[in-house]
Amino acid sequence: MASIMVTMLLMIVISLIVLGFAQISRSEQRQSLDRQLSTQAFFAAESGVNDARQIVMGELASGQGVPEKDQCSPTTEYPTTKANPTIDAANNVTYPCLLVTTHLKTLIANVPLADGISPSVKLPLEPATSSINTLHINWAPSSTPSTTDFNKCSTSIPSGPTASSGYFVPTSSWKCPIGVMRLEIVATDSLSGSALANSQKVMFLYPVRSSAGAVNQSYAASNGAVIRANCANVTSGCNVNLTGLNGGSKYMVKISAVYASGKVTMTATNGAGNSLEFANAQVQIDATGRAQDVLRRIQVRLPLQDSSATPDYAVESGTPICKRFQYSPYVPVENANDIVGQDHNNPMCV
């Protein structure tokens, strides 16, 4: 009887061990299959984005507007001949839902670090209805920093420029993972020289570690200003409200990143505080991919205007540009050491 009891006990223990290993094996197999199906579903969603992008770019190239798509199934503007949702019928890989819209209440853009090569990001601010009164700006790092790195950000804006210090320090001395955003904005209702000069503003949004909420900054008093941008935590980014935009109903903004790349999100409200939709700026493509029973959904923003088509500078050159000045009509400035890196092929650089 004792032998039988011991044998039964051992059989039960061994059976439990075998069942445990079998469960682990099935779980690992399912996880591996889910990862494979998730990858397939993601690629299917990307295929939907690429199909929609080809249609949108084709319409823009022909001078047409972007056709809206507010239903998942194929439409006249997005037929199966151009946007076929079936990727692999044998393995049930498709993108069952594809949506396209230009009715956006937010503008989102990734801004690369200003390195002299990467261009700045230009965005038109053209509300579909009403006029902009307040522009809400959120400035966040490209990737979520650690709390330790975030705590290196300043809790106040440094004092103004002096002989030994100023608002901006060398790149090697900047410790905050959130960079400074250089924002230029100009009203474009009138393209006359005087109108553009009077409405153009340049400002620097300086990240400050604070939970005080968004800072309200007057548009009229923002030219050349270093503006405090309160950053509450590592995920929420920094926020500024640019108020009193009364220079016109249409604006163009140019955004450059200093110290670190980042992502900017903009929303706008009118004088009554109602959210506005932006026109002629971006198109959002929303695609859902499916691989058997696994779904992946992605959203992509595409600019409706080529950001690189507008130069960042009035004059830009790959080689040095030299200027010589004359302080009287007859006596030129002659100083053998006033030019560094002389170019004997350029008479202005010798």
pLDDT in tens, 69-106: 999 989 999 999 999 999 999 989 999 999 999 889 99
- Whether 333 has a pLDDT exceeding 60, the answer reads no
Residue showing tokens 């548009």: 219
Confidence (pLDDT) at 335: 55
pLDDT digits (tens, 9 = 90+) for 188-198: 888 888 888 88
Taking residues 57-67, report their average pLDDT: 86
CA distance 340 to 350: 9
Confidence (pLDDT) at 329: 59
pLDDT digits (tens, 9 = 90+) for 199-258: 888 999 999 999 888 889 888 888 888 889 999 888 888 999 999 887 567 899 999 998
- Whether 300 has a pLDDT exceeding 50, the answer reads yes
Sign of the C-alpha dihedral computed for residues 123, 127, 131 and 133 taken in this order: negative
Amino acid at 178: I
Taking residues 172-179, report their average pLDDT: 89
Nearest residue to 87 via CA among 40, 34, 38, 39 = 40
CA distance 47 to 291: 13
Residues 94/287, Cβ–Cβ less than 8 Å:
no
CA distance 154 to 177: 11
Domain boundaries, the chain: 2-101, 107-280
Confidence (pLDDT) at 328: 60
- Whether 50 has a pLDDT exceeding 90, the answer reads yes
pTM above 0.95, yes or no: no
| Six token digits for residue 77 | 């503007």
Residues 258/180, Cβ–Cβ less than 8 Å:
yes
Bigger pLDDT: 136 or 334? 136
Say whether 286 sits in a helix, a strand or coil.
Answer: strand
Nearest residue to 242 via CA among 261, 216, 223 = 216
Confidence (pLDDT) at 163: 47
CA distance 165 to 173: 12
CA distance 152 to 149: 5
Residues 177/150, Cβ–Cβ less than 8 Å:
yes
pLDDT digits (tens, 9 = 90+) for 150-173: 998 988 887 765 545 567 888 888
CA distance 274 to 285: 25
- In angstroms, how far is CA 290 from the centroid of its own chain? 27
